[in-house]
Amino acid sequence: MSEYKGRLTFAKGTFIEFVVAPNQDVDFGDILVVEGVNGDRFYIRTYDFKVKSRWSGLNNVGYLMSKLNEDGQVANQEELDFYLGGNHTVKIAMAEQLCYADADGRLYNPKTCPDFFCEVRSLSPDDTALLSEIKGDLEIGFLKSGRGVLELPVGIYGSKAITEHIGIFGTTGSGKSNLVKVLASSVMENGDYGMLIFDVHNEYYKDLSRHRRAAERLSVYNTTPHAGYVRRLTVNFTEVDPEDITACATFTEPQMDAIYKLSSVWQDQWMRYVLQYDVEDIIAELAGCTGQKFQSRTISKIKSICWNLKQELNIAEDGETVVGPMMQDLEQGKVVLVELKNISPVGEQALSTVLSKKLLQHYAGKPDNVRHQVKPVAIVLEEAHRFLGKKEHTSNNIFARLVSEARKFNLGLCVVDQQPRLLADKVLSQLNTLFILGLASKADRSKLEAMSRKDILQQRNEIKNLECGEMVVATNYMRFAAPVKVHKFEDFVSQYNVSAPVGFPAGNVQA
Ligand SMILES: Nc1ncnc2c1ncn2[C@@H]1O[C@H](COP(=O)(O)OP(=O)(O)O)[C@@H](O)[C@H]1O
Ligand SMILES: [Mg+2]
């Protein structure tokens, strides 16, 4: 499987040069192995080349030039081939040592440098120490090496990556949705993690339902169910806090004040009463309890927003709610889709806020000894800058709190965005796993370079030239950022499904 690539000719610190064997391809970005003399191995990444020849000196170049005709063209190819042939000309590759495996197969950061003339070869399944580190338990794609794709799986370890937050970044069409589907499939296959996906375009069910474990590990919620498999999303009045409302629309100061006063007077029944009573009665009640007289315009606006949300989100009086079952689903390691396509931006914001907050409270409420046994859950937020932009983050909404607190409760965010530069720096700096897909804008790439916990500067060119479905994965526990060809969802899921029938009614779903 492994191919001979060349021999080491120079090493200093972690810098390595090797001569590329004749007739071998080595590309920018190739990950290769230097076989040490003691059974140890040095993993290296090629980042540059130079060509050297015994003809390189000025006099020799002059001599070769004299073999050309007056137009600078080759007069006699055969003669020139004679001069250039043999071992007179070599291609030298420059590489950086990524990590080191000792003779027992333990992986370390670079410890020493390889010896002169050691053999350089391509990676093979035999490089188990390296491969098990990058394989993870949630498979995402294959390792890319230069122009080729190696059939070596790459993924993340959910137990390490989920609670340390994930960022998925790429321009439209770069493959973000496909990546989320592949990740969700691996979560379903694995069963040790939960995933709450706010599905803005209702684009995931159709595909994820083809997974062989969909019947047991996929749940779909929608406020207006369109098919039998979808559960109706309802929330209870008592589950909506003032901050869920203030997070989703812009309010004036008096309006904010009124909302908080209402909730302090009527506690968890505030929203129900706001909708039930007339504006005048509400003003009188507030004046009686707090001594403050609010204008009727102020109260009307609050009433109006609450009314819209009640209609849109099926906020019900009789204690009906799906929050409990949804938390159960997540805790048991399911993928939960919350379909939001038909909901207004305000409703969407309110619903995402309420559900994420419930999840945080649910996990935070578990006793310490139990919490370690519950399954880590990733909350997938698309177009995340709407919730975690520079302005939104300072308001300390639920998502900002999740960024800083979720980890200790076994939760994590997976933010998806086309323009990482719109996210607050505090958010970017907390993302310990980055999936960097193709990003057209230099400003976005520079932002990630500056904020990434892992040094990705070396891969600047690679990141710039990523094609659809290709990405660079940088995660804090991996020793280097790896280039990956993400599986195409359709191929990936059919690989799982070979031996099992499709478990869910996929046939009657509209896109
Ligand atoms: N890893 C991949 N391999 C092959 N095709 C892909 C891959 N990722 C995405 N595509 C294709 O590229 C197109 C855009 O992908 P999509 O995931 O919708 O991008 P985004 O969500 O970033 O806009 C889709 O048609 C999809 O099938
Ligand atoms: Mg998309």
Residues 320-354 pLDDT 10s? 788 999 999 999 999 999 999 999 999 999 999 99
- Considering its fold, how many domains does the chain have in total? 3
CA of 173 to the centre of ligand 2 (A): 7
Instruction: Concatenate the DSSP letters of all residues of 112-143 into one string.
Output: S-PPTT-EEEE--TT-HHHHHHHH-SEEEEEE
Look at residue 499 and tell me if it is in a domain.
Answer: no
* CA–CA gap between residue 391 and residue 81 (Å, rounded): 66
Among the listed residues 473, 508, 467, 407, the one whose alpha carbon sits nearest the alpha carbon of residue 175: 467
Atom of ligand 1 nearest to the CA of 176: 22
Q: Which ligand gives the minimal distance to the CA of 170?
A: 1
Domain final residue, candidates 269, 288, 313: 313
The alpha carbon of 469 and the centre of ligand 1 are apart by a number of angstroms equal to: 6
Integer CA distances (angstroms), 146 to 117, 142, 421, 456, in order: 23, 13, 28, 16
pLDDT in tens, 396-443: 889 999 999 988 899 999 999 999 999 999 999 999 999 999 999 999
Q: Model pTM greater than 0.85?
A: yes
**What is the arithmetic mean of pLDDT over 385-394?**
87
Asked whether 14 and 113 are in contact (CB, 8 A), the reply is: yes
Contact 395, 435 (CB under 8 A): no
DSSP string, 282-293: HHHHHHHHHS--
Q: Is residue 152 part of a domain?
A: no
Q: Say what the pLDDT of residue 31 is.
A: 93
| Distance between Cα 484 and ligand 1 center (Å) | 14
Which residue of 154, 436, 466, 468 sits with most ligand 1 atoms within 8 Å of its CB, as the best mutation to test the pocket? Answer: 468
pLDDT score recorded for residue 498: 59
Q: What is the DSSP letter of 202?
A: S
Beta carbons within 8 Å of 483's beta carbon, 6+ residues apart: 29, 143, 144, 145, 459, 462, 470, 471, 472, 473
Ligand 1 neighbour 181 (Cβ under 6 A): no
Task: Find the domain containing 381 and state its range.
Answer: 158-231+322-487
3-state secondary structure of 243: helix
Asked, for residue 175, whether it belongs to a domain, the answer is yes
Q: What number is the average pLDDT over the span 458-486?
A: 92
498 located within any domain: no
Q: What ligand has the least distance to the C-alpha of 182?
A: 1
- Whole-number Å distance, alpha carbon 172 to ligand 2 midpoint, is 7
Residue 154 Cα to ligand 1 midpoint, Å, equals: 18
pLDDT digits over 110-164, tens only?
A: 999 999 999 999 999 899 888 998 999 999 999 998 788 998 999 999 999 999 9
343 burial (CB, 10 Å; 0-12 / 13-18 / 19+) is buried
Ligand 1 binding pocket mutation candidate from 177, 178, 182, 472 (most atoms within 8 A of CB): 178
Claim to verify: residue 40 and residue 180 sit in the same structural domain: no
478 and 329 in one domain?
Answer: yes
Whether 210 and 344 map to the same domain: the answer is yes
Q: Does the residue 504 lie in any domain? A: no
DSSP codes, 390-420 = HHHHHTT-HHHHHHHHGGGGTEEEEEEES-G
Distance 61 CA to ligand 2 centre (A): 54
Per-residue model confidence (pLDDT) at position 503: 46
pLDDT digits (tens, 9 = 90+) for 5-52: 999 999 999 999 999 998 899 998 899 999 999 999 999 999 899 998
**DSSP codes, 324-348:** HHHHHHHHTT-EEEEE-TTS-HHHH
226 and 368 within one domain: yes
Question: 197 and 304: one domain?
Answer: no
CA torsion angle for 376, 380, 384, 389 (degrees, to 10)?
-10
Q: What is the DSSP letter of 295?
A: -
The residue behind tokens 């970005």 is 29
- Stretch (H or E) spanning 305: helix 296-313
Distance 175 CA to ligand 1 centre (A): 4
Question: What are 138's two structure tokens?
Answer: 């949630």
| Dist CA 415 CA 54 (whole Å) | 54
Q: Is 342 in the same domain as 443? A: yes
CA nearest ligand 1 atom 9, residue: 175
- 394 by Cβ neighbours in 10 Å (0-12 / 13-18 / 19+) ranks as exposed
pLDDT band at residue 211 under the 50/70/90 scheme: very high
Centre of ligand 2 from the C-alpha of residue 339, in Å = 14
Rounded CA-CA distance 32/273 in Å is 68
pLDDT of residue 339: 96
Closest residue CA from atom 16 of ligand 1: 175
Residue whose Cα lies nearest atom 2 of ligand 1: it is 469
CATH number at residue 351: 3.40.50.300
Protein residue with least CA distance to atom 7, ligand 1: 469
Statement to judge: residues 115 and 257 lie in one domain: no
Instruction: Convert 73-89 to b/e letters by CB count within 10 Å (16 or more is b).
Output: eeeeeeeeeebeeeeee
pLDDT for the residue numbered 508: 39
Q: Give the residue whose CA is nearest to atom 1 of ligand 1.
A: 469
Quick one: 226 and 291 in the same domain? no
- Asked, for residue 463, whether it belongs to a domain, the answer is yes
| Residues whose Cβ atom is located within 5 A of ion ligand 2 | 176-177
* Residue located nearest, by CA, to atom 25 of ligand 1: 173
What confidence score (pLDDT) does residue 507 get? Answer: 39
Give every CB contact of residue 159 below 8 A, 6+ residues apart in sequence: 137, 192, 193, 376
Q: Which of 60-69, 381-390, 446-455 has the highest mean pLDDT?
A: 381-390
- Is the CB–ligand 1 distance for residue 155 below 6 Å? no
Structure tokens at 335: 């993928």
- What digits encode the pLDDT tens for the residues 158-210? 999 999 999 999 999 999 999 999 999 999 999 999 999 999 999 999 999 99
pLDDT at 212: 94
pLDDT of 228-282, one tens digit each?
889 999 998 888 899 888 888 888 999 999 999 999 999 988 999 999 999 999 9
Rounded distance between C-alpha atoms, residue 426 and residue 451, angstroms? 9
295 vs 201: CA distance, rounded Å? 39
Mean pLDDT for 493-510 is 56
Q: Look at residues 253, 286, 313 and tell me which one is the last residue of a structural domain.
A: 313
Distance 63 CA to ligand 2 centre (A): 59
- Please indicate, yes or no, whether residues 13 and 115 belong to a single structural domain of this protein: yes
Predicted confidence at residue 458, as pLDDT, reads: 80
The H or E element that residue 59 is part of is: helix 58-65
Same domain, 25 and 80: yes
- Residue 440 Cβ contacting ligand 1 at under 6 Å: no
Q: Are 194 and 330 in contact (CB under 8 A)?
A: yes
Q: Which atom of ligand 1 is nearest to the CA of 171?
A: 22
Collapsing DSSP states into helix, strand and coil, what is residue 331? helix
Q: Which residue has the tokens 């230097």?
A: 34
Residue 368 inside a domain? The answer is yes
Look at strands 41-53 and 89-101 and give their pairing.
antiparallel
**What is the amino acid identity at position 292?**
Q
- Which of ligand 1's atoms lies nearest the C-alpha of 470? 1
d(CA 456, CA 450): 9
360 token code pair: 């945080």
Of the candidates 397, 402, 449, 444, the one whose C-alpha atom is nearest the C-alpha of residue 423 is: 444
Ligand 1 pocket residue status of 190, Cβ below 6 Å: no
Q: 283 pLDDT band (50/70/90 cuts)?
A: very high
Nearest ligand, CA of residue 491? Answer: 1
Domain boundary among the residues 279, 313, 347 is at 313
Residues 14 and 124 in one domain: yes
Q: Which helix (H) or strand (E) holds 490?
A: helix 489-497
Task: Judge if 347 and 198 occupy the same domain.
Answer: yes
Residue 450 resides in a domain: yes
CB 138 within 8 A of CB 492: no
According to the model, what pLDDT value does residue 371 have?
A: 81
Q: Is ligand 1 within 6 A of the CB of residue 172?
A: yes
Give the closest residue to 134 by CA, choosing from 470, 454, 482.
Answer: 482
* Ligand 1 pocket, residue 175 CB under 6 Å: yes
**Ligand 1 proximity of 438 Cβ (cutoff 6 Å):** no
